[in-house]
Amino acid sequence: MAKKTVRDLKLKGKKVLVRVDFNVPIQNGNITDDNRIVQAIPTLKYILDQGGRAIVFSHLGRVKTEEDKASKSLKVVSERLEELLGKEVKFVPVTRGSELEVAISNLKDGEILMFENTRFEDLDGNKESKNNPELGKYWASLGDVFVNDAFGTAHRAHASNVGIASNIKDSVAGFLLEKEIKFIGGAVDNPKRPFVAILGGAKVSDKISVIENLLEKADKVIIGGGMAYTFLNAQGYDIGTSLFEADKVELAKNLLEKGKGKIILPVDFAFTDKFEDKAPTHVGPITDIKEGEMSLDIGPKTLELFAKEIKNAKTVVWNGPMGVFEMDNYRKGTIGVCEALANLKDAITIVGGGDSAAAAIQFGYEDKITHISTGGGASLEYLEGKVLPGVAALSDK
């Protein structure tokens, strides 16, 4: 997808609207993972170094009540951005009006401000998330050019991405969005082969279209995590009390038929009788499961099997953990996949957003993977082969 990027603009003296994805986790007023802020720094530094006047904005969570506003302010995010940039970030605690307009008019070349959570506009009829035309037009009026660097919301048509792009001539991708298009789009449309897809997570229903699309594109599709038990049930195995979707068993049968020779399922598992972080009661094939037991992770033989399939790959896309990696005793499968990707030579390795991205970062593999996506739902929809509205709205080269 040949879209213009921030490199295609003359930025000096321009008011540059920058949509970022700073939807970061905050607990007790503290940011617990600043990866999305860190990933936006190259674009922001480039704009400021070129003499642009950066007007930065993002959503943060969902805002449904006045009470939500207290915990969903971007003030703490602007403070972390200031630390990472090493320069003042003026925070404007509103989403529209004279205070914001005056602050923007006072900006000088190379200066940056950030305004309040765009979702505050959802308190008045979901104006932001329903792409209210008047709101998109208003925000567009605040700048000369628009840079979208928020891949995490690119699968949604909101006032802060599609709404602005519809009302401003120069709408381009930032470096992060460009990177996401290059790696995820490239993996799906023109992968180096062999191309191996690894899918995990809890539900088949979340990834039906992804599996269908990747069965067409990939050479192998590895399935682990909670979704594997629906496939095992479809093969007639007793899976005990393991997580599965009864209404997706027929679909799983159809996918297994369609993906003959391509779909690879786990061959052994870590069994337990309670959903809690205690050592597995035993490890073995699914036929070893006892009454009342469940599996919370893949076993060592599965890891060997998966690693063997991954070893010769030239492109690997991974979306979804292999087990309940939040528990110390059930993270071996997810860590093992991280290691298999880290050990690849001359391969493009891409980790989709959400839990698998969090795991790769948490376990220290961030620097050994080609690209870790910042978008959960967006990366999934891209893997499905869908057109993302936030990308489609940008100016073509």
User: Per this entry, what is the length of the chain?
Assistant: 397
Q: How far apart are CA 173 and CA 19, in angstroms?
A: 10
Buried b (16+ CB within 10 A) or exposed e, 82-109: beebeeebebbeebeeeebeebbeebee
Q: How far apart are CA 252 and CA 261, in angstroms?
A: 15
Neighbour order of strands in the sheet with 220-223: 263-264, 220-223, 195-199, 315-319, 348-351, 371-372
In the set 143, 354, 375, 376, the catalytic residue is 354
H and E: helices and strands count for the chain:
16, 17
Q: How far apart are CA 329 and CA 277, in angstroms?
A: 6
Taking alpha carbons only, the member of 234, 236, 237, 226 closest to residue 289 is 237
Whether residue 300 is preceded by a cis peptide bond, meaning omega within 30 degrees of 0, is: no
In the set 4, 87, 96, 203, the catalytic residue is 203
Would residue 354 show up in a list of annotated catalytic residues for this protein?
Answer: yes
End-to-end CA distance of the chain: 9
Would residue 203 show up in a list of annotated catalytic residues for this protein?
Answer: yes
- E strands present in 72-156: 89-92, 112-115, 145-148
User: Do 128 and 351 contact (CB within 8 A), yes or no?
Assistant: no
User: Do 235 and 256 contact (CB within 8 A), yes or no?
Assistant: yes
Would residue 29 show up in a list of annotated catalytic residues for this protein?
Answer: no
In the set 3, 36, 119, 332, the catalytic residue is 36
Nearby residues of 395 by Cβ (< 8 Å), 6 or more positions away: 3, 4, 169, 170, 171, 172
Which tokens go with 286?
């699914």
Would residue 377 show up in a list of annotated catalytic residues for this protein?
Answer: yes
Strands 26-27 and 15-19, by their bridges, are unpaired
Give the Cα-Cα-Cα angle 316, 322, 325 (nearest 5 degrees): 120
Catalytic residues: 36, 203, 354, 377
